Amino acid sequence: MTSSAFRWPLGLGLMGALLLLLLLLLLLTGCGDQGKPDDGGQNPSTATPYVLTLPANLPQHVGIPADNPLTEEGVALGRQLFYEVRLSGNGTQSCGSCHQQSRAFTDGRARALGAEGQQHGRNTMSLANVLWEKTLTWDGAAASLEQQARRPLENPVEMHQLLATGVQRLQQTDRYPPLFQQAFGSSTITETNVLRALAQFERTLISANSPYDHYIRKEGSLTPTERAGARLFSDHPGEVSGLFIRGGACHHCHSSENGLFSSPDFFNNGLDRTFADPGRAGVTGQALDRGRFKAPTLRNIAQTAPYMHDGRFKTLEEVLDHYNEHVQTTSPGIDPNVLLSNTPNGTRLNLTAQEKTQLLAFLHTLTDSTFLTDKRFANPF
């Protein structure tokens, strides 16, 4: 064996040689990790899976990204970040400033107000049940909650601060590095993990405990007026077997079939003949999408006034008046379902005063008071 290129030290013995070999392997492994960047990735061995309970009358399939599973620590961190004013440029505004729990995570303004007093061009949308949404914001510019969260943080007329700056401010605190360690396995705060935590919290904002839900689950009842409103909501006006069915056709844009009362599609609902806001066309560049906006959820709709993308209607009564009497029928690309009429060959919806009352009564059954007061969603500070 004298030709071997490597000889054990004299007198080391077999056991000593094995120990030396193990030491060399450990040193080599350590060297291989040196200089490896800390990407702030998750450590699934330290984070506790969050048990998400889906209401029986809502869709049971949800799209949670594989790289951002819900965890107890991630959701708790996201809740704190949602109400954290350090993420705004002047340290006065948080996500919760425009998304207030008592208003179903809207703000009661026609158009949102930024950290420095600027008025946004659009109304604040509710965050109820965003877990099921495929596109977000009025024009669908974001395809995920992780992607959407960056927009208001960095928008000059919203929170007006680069996320990178917000990360630096969080890193300098005593509070946040340990929380990021618990949630994502690293105390080094990253932009990606800030967005992940916010998205995790927002996915838990589930609303499905309204009087309507109790009725659907056979846990309660609705009044005759509310039931009549529910029928109008889902009925399409027109002749069936020689009988003319009266309806509001609301379900075409706010589907009640899956319990979400929203739609993945975008609609021109006859607000204008010309468009100051391009709507969906601002994202797609398609002329046919001008004046089309996302149909927001109607859950807790009685709490989210004012209404429409620009907050032009102060009350639900004004909304019904629009669909009943004031649709701009010549609006380019108008959705045909807002041109339906309860009068044969009519040009307006023509609901009666009683039918409006019934529809309004039904819409109020979508208010989930437990969602509006649930301590899990409240400001933790």
170-179 per-position pLDDT tens digit:
999 999 999 9
pLDDT at 186: 97
pLDDT at 206: 98
pTM of the shown model: 0.87
Six token digits for residue 235: 């009925």
pLDDT at 36: 37
Q: Is the pLDDT of residue 286 over 80?
A: yes
Q: Is the pLDDT of residue 39 over 60?
A: no
Backbone φ and ψ for 201, nearest 5 degrees, come out as -60, -45
Q: Which of 364, 273, 266 has the alpha carbon at shortest distance from 320?
A: 364
Lowest mean pLDDT among 24-33, 188-197, 358-367: 24-33
Q: Is the pLDDT of residue 22 over 90?
A: no
Q: Is the pLDDT of residue 276 over 80?
A: yes
Lowest mean pLDDT among 1-10, 15-24, 130-139: 1-10
Cα(188)–Cα(5) distance, rounded to whole angstroms? 45
As a three-state string, the secondary structure of the chain is CCCCCCCCCCCCHHHHHHHHHHHHHHHHHHHHHCCCCCCCCCCCCCCCECCCCCCCCCCCCCCCCCCCCCEHHHHHHHHHHHCCHHHCCCCCCCHHHHCEHHHCCECCCCCCECCCCCECCCCCCCCCCHHHCCCECCCCCECCHHHHHHHHHHCCCCCCCCHHHHHHHHHCCCCHHHHHHHHHCCCCCCHHHHHHHHHHHHHCCCCCCCHHHHHHCCCCCCCHHHHHHHHHHHCCCEEECCEEECCCCHHHCCECCCCCCECCCEECCCCCCCCCCCECHHHHCCHHHCCEEECCCCCCHHHCCCECCCCCECCHHHHHHHHHHHCCCCCCCCCHHHHCCCCCCCCCCCCCHHHHHHHHHHHHCCCCHHHHHCHHHCCCC
| Burial class of residue 159, CB neighbours in 10 A (0-12, 13-18, 19+) | buried
Q: pLDDT (tens digit, 9 = 90+) per residue, 258-267?
A: 999 999 999 9
Q: Is the pLDDT of residue 142 over 80?
A: yes
pLDDT at 344: 87
Looking at the DSSP assignment, which residues form a beta bridge with residue 266? 294
pLDDT at 16: 53
Q: CB-based contacts of 205: which residues, under 8 Å, 6+ apart?
A: 105, 127, 128, 129, 130, 131, 371, 377
Q: pLDDT (tens digit, 9 = 90+) per residue, 60-69?
A: 999 899 999 9
